[in-house]
């Protein structure tokens, strides 16, 4: 018999790793990691790196009529994401079991059974990954590598592929991203679709403090104002917030 959903504050959700999911819940619901005020009555939101769905559930709690496109490439995590959306009766959320990138293709995903949040398409040294996971249950992945790590090929598609296929999307109020390969995903958006975007929120992990600069430069080239903040608790984490210059009446605190 499958275990019931766990309780995270006021939210019940299925999770592979309770400690990991609780950390994500606290950052999204408690700390307000992603700014999401004043998105309108029926906002369109894109959730890239949806994981088990905490951010999507957060948006649906705040904006019940929101239209959401959620992307999660890891098959097992995608299954949990779908279960959570079904559990909360959010059948209107459009979910895609694909990775996003600059061009269509296939890539190998390194999947961590005990720490799916850290699964990645991009090559990292084992030391980098273990340092990223830190302590707690996720650390077991490092201590028992052969048992908890697998590789799976996943399809990669450009974000504009989905936007071209749905002409009813004429405005994107928020694009949230929490995945590796941020700049590749941004390059997978055609100019005509950049004109639809109002806000972008990206969580970046890097030991190089200059790493967010390439993303900042790219976003500024698309006529966005950009603010980069460093996580007070983890100096390897940066939050990049971008607002279109023509909607700058919106404050950064929104």
What SS3 state is found at 192? helix
DSSP letter for 120, please: B
User: pTM of the full predicted structure?
Assistant: 0.88
The C-alpha atoms of residue 132 and residue 118 are separated, in whole angstroms, by: 8
- Structural domain contains residue 251: no
**Domain total for the chain?**
1
With contact defined as beta carbons under 8 Å apart, do 13 and 6 qualify? yes
Tracing tokens 């929104």 back to the chain, one arrives at 254
- Structural domain contains residue 189: yes
Residue 126: which domain range?
6-32+41-239
Residue 149: the pLDDT is: 76
83: CATH = 3.40.50.150
Residue 110: the pLDDT is: 83
With contact defined as beta carbons under 8 Å apart, do 21 and 83 qualify? no
Q: DSSP per residue over 124-179, as a string? A: --HHHHHHHH-SSTTHHHHHTHHHHEEEEEEEEE-HHHHHHT-TT---BSEEEE-S
- Structural domain contains residue 252: no
Residue 213: the pLDDT is: 93
With contact defined as beta carbons under 8 Å apart, do 98 and 157 qualify? yes
- Structural domain contains residue 187: yes
- Structural domain contains residue 21: yes
- Structural domain contains residue 247: no
Residue 234: the pLDDT is: 59
With contact defined as beta carbons under 8 Å apart, do 54 and 87 qualify? no
Residue 151: the pLDDT is: 84
- Structural domain contains residue 26: yes
With contact defined as beta carbons under 8 Å apart, do 159 and 185 qualify? yes
DSSP letter for 38, please: S
Mean pLDDT by 10 residues, the chain (254 residues): 84 91 92 84 97 97 97 95 97 97 93 72 61 55 64 95 96 96 96 96 83 94 94 75 80 50
Q: DSSP per residue over 219-251, as a string? A: HHHTTEEEEEEE-SS-TTEEEEEEEEGGGTTS-
- Structural domain contains residue 250: no
75-87 helix and 54-62 helix, angle to the nearest 10 degrees? 30
Residue 171: the pLDDT is: 97
Measured in whole angstroms, how far is the alpha carbon of residue 136 from the centre of its chain? 22
């Amino acid at each position: 018999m499958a275990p019931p959903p766990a309780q995270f504050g006021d939210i019940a959700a299925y999770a592979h790793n309770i400690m990991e999911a609780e950390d994500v819940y606290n950052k999204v619901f408690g700390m307000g990691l992603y700014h999401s005020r004043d998105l309108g009555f029926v906002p369109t939101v894109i959730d890239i790196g949806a994981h088990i769905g905490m951010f999507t559930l957060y948006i649906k709690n705040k904006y019940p009529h929101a239209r959401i496109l959620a992307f999660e490439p890891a098959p097992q995590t995608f299954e949990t994401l779908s279960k959570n959306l079904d559990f909360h009766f959010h059948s209107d959320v459009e979910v895609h079991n694909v990775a996003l990138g600059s061009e269509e293709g296939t890539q190998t995903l390194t999947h961590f059974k005990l720490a799916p949040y850290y699964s990645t398409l991009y090559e990292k040294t084992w030391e980098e990954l273990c340092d990223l996971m830190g302590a707690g249950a996720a650390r077991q992945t490092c201590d028992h590598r052969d048992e908890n790590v697998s590789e799976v090929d996943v399809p990669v598609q450009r974000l504009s592929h989905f936007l071209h296929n749905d002409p009813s999307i004429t405005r994107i109020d928020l694009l949230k991203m929490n995945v590796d390969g941020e700049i590749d995903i941004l390059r997978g958006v055609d100019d005509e679709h950049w004109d639809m975007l109002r806000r972008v929120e990206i969580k970046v992990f890097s030991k190089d403090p200059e790493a967010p600069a390439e993303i900042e430069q790219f976003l500024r080239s698309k006529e966005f104002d950009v603010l980069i903040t460093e996580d007070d608790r983890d100096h390897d984490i940066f939050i990049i917030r971008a607002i279109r210059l023509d909607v700058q009446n919106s404050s950064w605190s929104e």
